[in-house]
Amino acid sequence: MFYRVALQRERVLRADRIEDVNAGLAGGKDVTAFVTSLRKPP
């Protein structure tokens, strides 16, 4: 159980980093959809 929570938290943090890196790029809409999928609980 704890492992799943930690894994989900790591995915959210990674999504935040990806979003920051890609914020100014042309493919922002695709990135936003990808980040949203990362944030969803498994």
For the cut 70, the answer to whether the pLDDT of residue 28 exceeds it is: no
What percent of the chain has pLDDT above 70?
64
Looking at the predicted structure, is the pLDDT value of residue 26 above 60?
no
Distance between CA 12 and CA 8 in Å, rounded?
Answer: 6
Identify the band that residue 23 occupies on the pLDDT scale cut at 50, 70 and 90. low
* Percentage of residues of the chain with pLDDT beyond 90: 0
Mean residue pLDDT across the chain:
74
Q: What are the Cα distances from residue 38, in Å, to 1, 4, 11, 14, 18? A: 19, 14, 6, 8, 10
